[in-house]
Structure 1
Amino acid sequence: MTASPHWPITTTLARDLHHFRSPRDLRASFTMKPGDSPRARCELLEMAESSTANAEPLEWPKKDKRRLLHVVYRVGDLDRSIKFYTECFGMKLLRKRDVPEEKYSNAFLGYGPEESHCVMELTYNYGVSSYDIGTGFGNFAITTQDVYKMVEDIKAKGGTVTREPGPVRGGTTVIAFVNDPDGYVFELIQISATPKPLCHVMLKVGDLERAIKFYEKALGMKLFRKGEKPDDKYTLAIMGYPGENETNVLELTYNYDVTEYTKGNAYAQLAIGTDDVYKSGEVVKLVIEELGGEITRQPGPLPGINTKITSFLDPDGWKTVSLCFMNFKPLYSWE
């Protein structure tokens, strides 16, 4: 706010904003000082109280215990996808269900129990055999101890290899790219054994700094690292939760001078666990007011079951669903 000559805001007055813990503390600390105008002080107090009220909910992500639960996307033939993922990628079918009243089936696949691993949720909608992946979805990534062998196995089973195994440009890490039967791109990365081979989900964004700020503030993620690739004209950011800096991360990619992408109708959303979906929803609402996005479902229980969720779009239109850990109990046993 710019003070008028008739209502000056002194340096002392502005400095008061940095010495409060709550609106009540702030108001109690505001005493008139020489040079302060009553009107300017009231205006600044209103602004500060509003800022304080917003600051308290924004602390919640720092206290919340969060992790990536699963990534959801649509496929044209569920049994075909299950066969490909189990035989080519070595995943295990965790559970499968059919929901005829809503005309869809889904399957959860991964490398470990859902209570501790991020997994893939594949959805088949009755009668829909293909989808538009769009230009914004990037890829999934899987780690393996031998990329060459995995690629040979995929070829033997009729899979499509779009980049043969070999070191990354300017480095030594061996990678390859393959497509699943629906055209989703999977990056295969050769590293030593890891208990969580599902490595990352990569999405393209039009403003990387805005996206980083959104996922830090709205979802409590940490920026693990950024990588500038001027020769390839892109920058990437690796984000996730503490303890997951090598696997189960979100990779955001900004391609130089590209600010918009098509979303298609194939990729659906990320699901993230939270201890309190209502507090998490309040944080998301405040961040959306600042950075953009949209609430698509207010916090609350799903009809007929006790699972509490909220869902929203980030500033680039990518969807996230937050689920309450307390009510999220997958119906399967890991063997």
Structure 2
Amino acid sequence: MKLLRRRDIPEERYTNAFLGYGPEDSHFVVELTYNYGVESYDIGSGFGHFGIAVEDVEKTVELIKAKGGTVTREPGPVKGGKSVIAFIEDPDGYKFELIERGPTPEPLCQVMLRVGDLDRAISFYEKAFGMELLRRKDNPQYKYTIAMMGYGPEDKHAVLELTYNYGVKEYDKGNAYAQIAIGTDDVYKTAEVVRQNGGQITREPGPLPGISTKITACTDPDGWKSVFVDNLDFLKELEE
């Protein structure tokens, strides 16, 4: 990844760094946030991982080891499947799944969140967010089901991986993972659609202090937060 942008907001006492594999206006990126004076967070049990597509998982793992990185799962087939994966962990404890794939325009390809009712979650993201169910796979041997949600094919777009573990209805979300952010042409209309489909608006539509970019924030039925960002405002923000 590359550092794409860094932003300090002293009046709100935080600093952001945006990292990714391409420009923010055309790629999915990771937003790292440092809140002044806070040294540690609780990741909880609900957040799963970020996914990164690589052409050779084994070589990537060796490179990470050589640079002192932490590998928590050695390369090998995913449970109940054939895809070759590995897991690594960053210094703050966030997990990253390395997924072996061919060349892709979107290497930062997944966010995995655990949910207590998969059908409810799928319906919400379809109706409130306009996502498509790209793939659903049940793995009874290991007692879990996944659903891939997104705005385009998995090999070309970042997707949301929803995971249901049999019999688990709730998770501890901790206070570390914050949200996914999605662009929209109208944050006010988006907030209404989210409300109409069972989402809870946690921040009414309007400009951010100190930035002027309009956003709205909401939570899904499992309590996972998302932020919708005005597309034109965001492009102006990138130009500043």
TM-score relative to the length of structure 1: 0.68
How far off its partner does 1:243 sit? Answer: 4.8
Runs of 4+ in 1 over 6 A off after TM superposition: none
Question: Residue 161 in 1 paired to residue 71 in 2?
Answer: yes
| Mapping 1:115-194, distance limit 5 Å | 115-194=25-104
Question: Residue 302 in 1 paired to residue 200 in 2?
Answer: no
Question: Which residue of 2 is the match for residue 219 of structure 1?
Answer: 129
Opposite residue 209 of structure 1, the aligned amino acid is D
Structure number with larger C-alpha Rg? 1
Opposite residue 319 of structure 1, the aligned amino acid is K
- Structure 2 spans left out of the alignment, 5+ residues: none
Tell me, yes or no, if the aligned pair for 2:137 and 2:145 is still in contact at 8 Å: yes
CA deviation vs aligned residue, 1:271-295 (integer Å, no higher than 9, x gap): 100111111111011112xxxx421
In 1, Cα distance between equivalents of 2:211 and 2:169: 39
In 2, Cα distance between equivalents of 1:169 and 1:299: 42
| Mapping 1:267-306, distance limit 5 Å | 267-288=177-198, 293-306=199-212
RMSD: 1.6
| Mapping 1:3-22, distance limit 5 Å | none
Opposite residue 122 of structure 1, the aligned amino acid is L
Name the CA shift for 1:171/1:296 in 2 (closer, same or farther; >3 Å): closer
Tell me, yes or no, if the aligned pair for 2:194 and 2:200 is still in contact at 8 Å: no
Question: Which residue of 1 is the match for residue 170 of structure 2?
Answer: 260
CA deviation vs aligned residue, 1:153-200 (integer Å, no higher than 9, x gap): 111122111110122345432110111111111100111111210110
Question: Residue 321 in 1 paired to residue 227 in 2?
Answer: yes
Question: Which residue of 1 is the match for residue 218 of structure 2?
Answer: 312
- Structure 1 spans left out of the alignment, 5+ residues: 1-90
Tell me, yes or no, if the aligned pair for 2:54 and 2:100 is still in contact at 8 Å: yes
TM-score relative to the length of structure 2: 0.95
Question: Residue 198 in 1 paired to residue 108 in 2?
Answer: yes
Question: Which residue of 1 is the match for residue 6 of structure 2?
Answer: 96
Tell me, yes or no, if the aligned pair for 2:104 and 2:156 is still in contact at 8 Å: no
Question: Residue 331 in 1 paired to residue 225 in 2?
Answer: no
Name the CA shift for 1:302/1:192 in 2 (closer, same or farther; >3 Å): same
Q: Higher helix fraction: Structure 1 or Structure 2?
A: 1
In 1, Cα distance between equivalents of 2:155 and 2:201: 28
Between 321-330 and 106-115, the greater mean CA deviation after superposition: 321-330
Name the CA shift for 1:267/1:326 in 2 (closer, same or farther; >3 Å): same
Name the CA shift for 1:171/1:204 in 2 (closer, same or farther; >3 Å): closer
In 1, Cα distance between equivalents of 2:178 and 2:58: 31
Tell me, yes or no, if the aligned pair for 1:140 and 1:186 is still in contact at 8 Å: yes
The count of corresponding residues between Structure 1 and Structure 2 is 239
Q: Higher strand fraction: Structure 1 or Structure 2?
A: 2
Opposite residue 303 of structure 1, the aligned amino acid is P
In 1, Cα distance between equivalents of 2:95 and 2:111: 10
Question: Which residue of 2 is the match for residue 29 of structure 1?
Answer: none
Name the CA shift for 1:256/1:172 in 2 (closer, same or farther; >3 Å): closer
- Identity of matched residues, %: 68
